[in-house]
Structure 1
Amino acid sequence: IQYGKPGASLDEVIDAAKKAGAHDFIMELPDKYNTYIGERGLMLSGGQKQRISIARVFLKNPPILILDEATSALDNESERIVQESLNRLAKGRTTFTIAHRLTTIRNADCIWVLNESGIVEKGTHSELLKKNGLYSQYHKMYAEANND
């Protein structure tokens, strides 16, 4: 986590981990915050790795975030936890989210829908659903595939 801000205090690291939803699983590790997690986090699940990455960003506290498929490799439960962390992280800062999973962008202030031709729609989630365009089609397919 300290890669986000070299020289950060343990209190700062713990605060970032709590905000990212990582503190509880870290406390279950053999050496807690001093546990060696291996090259590229091999000892951690996909969701745990994501929460560590999010904690690094909380610690760094940048004014702008760019999230590229931040939840794409996660199961539904891990996605929910990570998405809650990302929502907290995005508050009060400019955030660009690149995503195929519509749950990742549902709460965005503005969604830009692209295809091979470029930008085809833009608006909020509810505005785009009312347009019955490409976004609405994707939403229907996603809902059917996930029984929503």
Structure 2
Amino acid sequence: FGFRHPHPVREFCVQYQESDFDFIQRLTAEEGIFYYFEFSAGKNTVVYADDVGSLPKGASLPYNPNVAAQAQELSITTFTRSAQVRPAMVQLKDYTFKNPNWAAAFSEQSGELQNQRPDYEHFDFPGRFKDAQHGQDFTRYRL
């Protein structure tokens, strides 16, 4: 594991009508965790991480758009730019019967709108968190 951030222990967790893979995917996505594979002679390893700084440094690849030419080395031949709409803000709200007076509302504003609408908000209730640490983390990961 290549974790750089703390991840609080869950009080309980339920897997229902989902495969083992989907269950792990859901939990890691909620915690902002991703995975990649490391391949070596006779051994393949899954590495879980929560920060891109944990990724190994990759080799440089030159860009060669001339696909007809025989390249002597590996190169990138096609480059496609894409964009997608993302929320400018995420707000999660929840309720717990153990502490009904707790506000249980967290929001996170994006600092990188890249010419998108600043009023596009994602709101979710219940936010599926039981304490402030989970609420802050889940909100940040959703953004």
TM-score, normalised relative to structure 2: 0.26
Structure scoring higher RCO (CA < 8 A, sep ≥ 6) equals: 2
Greater per-residue helix proportion: 1
Greater per-residue strand proportion: 2
